[in-house]
Amino acid sequence: MGSPNGESDVIVIGVGGIGSAVVYELAKRGVDVLGLERYSIPHAMGSSHGYTRIIRRAYHENPQYVSMINRAYERWRELEDAYGEQLLYETGSLTAGPPTSDLVDGAVTTCEKHSIDYERLGADETAERFPGIRLPAGFEAVYQSDGGFVRPEAGITAHVRLAQRAGARIRAREEVVGWDSTPTGVRVTTDEGTYEADRLVVAAGAWTGNLVESLDDRLSPERQVISWIQPERPGNFTPDRLPVFLVSDEEEIHYGIPIFGAPGVKFGRHYHLNEVVDPDEMDREPTARDEAILREAADEYLSVGDSELMGLETCLYTNTDDRDFIIDTVPNHEDVVVLAGFSGHGYKFAGAIGEIGADLATGEPSEFDLTPFRIDR
């Protein structure tokens, strides 16, 4: 596919978790694609870092995601085969809380609607089967056997290296300062130069609102903090003994991932302190308050015993009001695709969204119903 009107067929702004998958998919199709990333590849300034990210089929948020997550599983396995490295680890997944909570009820509804095998476990049964987890009396858990985690830094690296092998050009540590339409496509200006293309994909995470003015009030970057805690009995927290988990008390959702990639079980609070921030101005150093909140919750939900804190790290969510993604073309700019607002649950879908983004950028129909992800929903 040649580009008679510019330097590239497609420019992708942001080569992180989602953008790297789009660049790979486009390059694989023979598209002349340029990826622009303001930081190093991979980096720890956005959303797709921290060694591991949860992947699960029992999707309590909305059953509409199940067809997309099923495709994402396929794409992760295809990427592993192409790259020659394991990127997805199946540990099983637990979704726990009061039996009538949105978390548990939503997971059951999704499993029933889509014929996904699952088990319901009481608090005592959960502790007996998974001794690293401690649920309050009266809580129940939905166990689904092929949940697990994916490796974000390794996934980004795989997508980028394979894209480069397929002919993609990728420039890192080059900040995009703006873009505008031209009679034949788009022009992108960076701190180092100007590039033209027929189409543009914006996958800039927390910085998307700065680049797509019409979305600035629709996207809320939010500061998150993740902890790694070394338990007294680490053997109960390995990938073969501990499933990934989410647990809700109907006010907050906490989550955890087995020991992998760094010392300690990974533990966090979904939406943490609900701190909306400017990603360029946020405090990236975790505080004593951050630590206290996470340590207290870990002591409640995990049998960590005499534990030691191994690490704290900040990251970013980019939230929409309804916590559903934005996957669409920009109003009045049909040659500009935006992939944004992944609201803390997007990276697991990277391969599928990369495919969708490539379809939109090349005018191909998507196999997925994208109506729930339209900007004007």
Catalytic residues: 49, 52-53, 266, 270, 315, 348
User: How far is residue 71 from each of residues 76, 103, 350, 356, 373, measured CA to CA in Å?
Assistant: 9, 23, 10, 11, 17
Q: What are phi and psi of 271, to 5 degrees?
A: 65, 10
Rounded Cα gap, residues 18 and 35, in angstroms: 12
Whether residue 16 contacts residue 47, with contact meaning beta carbons closer than 8 Å, is answered with yes
Rounded Cα gap, residues 40 and 364, in angstroms: 31
Q: What are 54's strand-pairing partners?
A: 149
Rounded Cα gap, residues 223 and 344, in angstroms: 11
Rounded Cα gap, residues 372 and 352, in angstroms: 16
Which residue do the tokens 């020659």 mark?
84
Q: What are 10's strand-pairing partners?
A: 33, 199
Which residues, at least 6 apart from 251, have a Cβ–Cβ distance to it below 8 Å? Answer: none
- 354 CB burial (10 A radius; 0-12, 13-18, 19+): buried
Q: How far apart are the first and last CA of the chain?
A: 33
Q: What are phi and psi of 296, to 5 degrees?
A: -60, -45
Q: Is the dihedral of CA 368, 47, 320, 95 positive or negative?
A: positive
Whether residue 237 contacts residue 260, with contact meaning beta carbons closer than 8 Å, is answered with no
Residue 199: strand, helix, or coil: strand
Rounded Cα gap, residues 150 and 157, in angstroms: 13
Rounded Cα gap, residues 301 and 134, in angstroms: 5
Residue 368, both tokens: 């997925």
- 363 CB burial (10 A radius; 0-12, 13-18, 19+): exposed
